[in-house]
Amino acid sequence: MKALRSVFLGCGSYLPEKALTNQQLTEIVDTSDEWIVQRTGIKNRHIAAEGEFTSHLAVNAAKAALENAGVDAQDIDLIVLATSTPDNTFPATAVAVQAALGINHGFAFDVQAVCSGFVYAVTTADAYLRGGLAKRALVIGAETFSRILDWEDRTTCVLFGDGAGAVVMEAQEGEPSMDQSGVLTCQLRSDGRHKEKLYVDGGPSTTGTAGHLRMQGKEVFKHAVGMVTDVIEAAFDATGTSAEDLDWFVPHQANQRIIDASAKKLGIAPEKVVKTVSQHGNTSAASIPLALDSIVKAGKVKKGDLIMLEAMGGGFTWGSVLLKW
């Protein structure tokens, strides 16, 4: 069997039309633009319209990614969709996307690792592609977090938004190496002891309801920088690279202070750090592909660029992906 590597062919994103600014939030909860920006860097977020579901956001992002990659939907034989806000308890939202794209072959499923979901999804697709079980994959992060927020809790409802991002990945011959495009290494971690620090207080098996997001913000911040550093340094060790070798650092867009602190600790130059959190808030599994698409659309990413993706989410889960574009 020939060695295979998984290569990113293109990406796309989608944000709902409705925007919700910090100023508008002051009419809903007791907060201020200054308070939100100072602590998070967030200025705006997007909210899905009534009747607009996670699958709708995902389909729009998927179509944009397919167009960017120059790939027809019928050439996709694997869809991995990362979400914590599925359309239904079952079936997987990925099969709704599959149907909407007119694909009736291959296989599709969801992964759930909260804000780390896209990193987990890319890692999963990478394993299937390198294992020869699929040829081309559509990997999506899509969320409608506005549906699980407590809009009376000013400490959480100001942080999150809705959105979707996607990438197209393809299995190509050759071992993963610094000389060729493709995923170089994936690093995943989890530690269930931290559940109470970031979770949703509902579910089919417990309350029979969707529940609302609950978070101990200071505790999450305290763990985030160390956990992020762990998986990034592990990626550097696995590939013999360093912060100086990176062309782009694309972190989960949760909080500007966490992003800045992580980059500083790792010695990553500020101009290499992609930050879009001010524009759409924390979109959980959608945030990394949204950020990645922003620099691809701007024409900043060149073939051969070394890109680090990283995230941390509820669970806790955390992980990184190092790739050559």
273 DSSP 8-state letter? B
* Strand pairing report for 248-251 and 306-313: parallel
Task: Return all residues near 292 (Cβ < 8 A) that are at least 6 apart.
Answer: 11, 165, 167, 250, 274, 307, 309
Q: Is 104 a catalytic residue?
A: no
Rounded alpha-carbon distances, angstroms, from residue 44 to 24, 33, 251, 281: 9, 10, 18, 6
Task: Return all residues near 135 (Cβ < 8 A) that are at least 6 apart.
Answer: 75, 77, 129, 170, 171
Selection from 91, 126, 154, 103 nearest residue 6 by Cα: 126
- Which listed residue (11, 22, 115, 255) is catalytic? 115
Using left for φ > 0, alpha for ψ between -120 and 50, and beta otherwise, residue 132 falls in left
Q: Specify the DSSP element, H or E, that contains 9.
A: strand 4-14
Neighbours of 191 (CB within 10 A): 12
Q: Which residue has the tokens 């309801």?
A: 209
- Which listed residue (56, 194, 212, 252) is catalytic? 252
User: Do residues 280 and 15 make contact, with C-beta atoms less than 8 angstroms apart?
Assistant: yes
For residues 107 and 169, what is the distance between their CA atoms, to the nearest angstrom? 15
Q: Is 282 a catalytic residue?
A: yes
- Which listed residue (44, 60, 68, 282) is catalytic? 282
Q: Specify the DSSP element, H or E, that contains 58.
A: helix 54-69
Rounded alpha-carbon distances, angstroms, from residue 5 to 72, 186, 215, 218: 21, 12, 38, 40
Q: Is 186 a catalytic residue?
A: no
For residues 199 and 185, what is the distance between their CA atoms, to the nearest angstrom? 29
Active site residues: 115, 252, 282
